[in-house]
Structure 1
């Protein structure tokens, strides 16, 4: 009789742990989704800015933002800066996607291990 209670407590603990992990995973996934949307928006802004800058004549004076001030720059420098920022956005987006995939994978593994535990308990009770 006491071994059944111990098994029930173990199952209850496993379910509670999975529930807590599921809540944390859901929060992290939402955070990753928000960050991804912000980065996609930034990348789109950089694309639009680059398109507009490329339409300027070579003798146009352009300024880049440095902190609170603006510095006179050349069109190629502005273009390179925009391309660099787009590249950083792509890297961060890839990193976030990898983290999201890892979270989903670990969550599924945890669910599967809990299913196996429940199945073992059912088999143990039937024997």
Structure 2
């Protein structure tokens, strides 16, 4: 055999071996990249879900606080003007004078409304 053929044969064998190693390592590398991306996406998904849950809890707490504050404000600023409210106040045990002060009506009006409601 000629020396040129031996060099070509050795070069051809080294090419085949290097290509086989490239295929092996590239498939392993792609597999590692897939696993890394999946774990990364799962990790970021978990972080996002946890942050959203925390945000949801905070929003619910703030919403409950706002509702409580507005209910307290509304109960303090509630003006009693209707006859059914006068009757309700009398059932709660308020005297006619107190009901008259709360409703800005005279004691006589309160007395008449209560008498009409009882009849």
Interval containing the TM-score (normalised by the shorter chain): 0.3 to 0.5
| Higher relative contact order (Cα pairs below 8 Å, separated by 6+ residues) | 1
Normalising by the residue count of structure 2, what TM-score does the alignment of the two structures yield?
0.44
